[in-house]
Amino acid sequence: MSKSKQGASKLGRGLSALMADINVSETPAQQTMPDTPVRGPGVREIPIEKLERNPAQPRRHFDKAKLAELTESIRQKGVLQPILVRPLPASYGVKGKKIEGRYQIVAGERRWHAAQAAGLERMPALVRDLSDVEVLEIGVIENVQRTDLSPLEEARAYQSLISEFGRKQIEIAEAIGKSRSHVANALRLLSLPALAQDYLEAGKITPGHARAILAAPDPVALAEQIVSKGLSVRAAERWVHMAAHADERACGSAGRDANIQFIERKVSQHLGMKVRINHKSPGGKMTITYTSLDELDELVKRLRGS
pLDDT in tens, 71-87: 898 888 888 888 888 88
CATH 1.10.10.2830 fits 192-255, yes or no: yes
Residues of the chain with CATH 1.10.10.2830: 192-255
Please confirm, yes or no, whether 298 is among the known catalytic residues: no
Which pLDDT score is estimated for 198?
92
- Can you tell me whether residue 59 is helix, strand or coil? coil
Residue type, 189: L
Task: For residue 236, give the nearest of 222, 218, 247, 246 by alpha carbon.
Answer: 222
CA distance 286 to 275: 7
Grouped pLDDT means (10 residues each) for the chain, 306 residues: 43 45 39 39 82 77 81 88 84 58 85 90 88 76 66 85 83 83 90 91 91 87 91 88 64 61 79 79 82 77 72
Residues of the chain with CATH 3.90.1530.30: 7-137
CA distance 11 to 155: 19
Pairing assessment for the beta strands 103-107 and 83-87 based on DSSP bridges: antiparallel
Angle at 29 between CA 68 and CA 46, to 5 degrees: 95
pLDDT tens, residue by residue, 188-199:
999 998 999 999
- What is the assigned CATH class of domain 7-137? alpha beta
Q: Of 45, 52, 109, 171, which residue is the catalytic one?
A: 109
CA distance 182 to 68: 31
By the 10 Å C-beta count (0-12 exposed, 13-18 middle, 19+ buried), 249 is classed as exposed
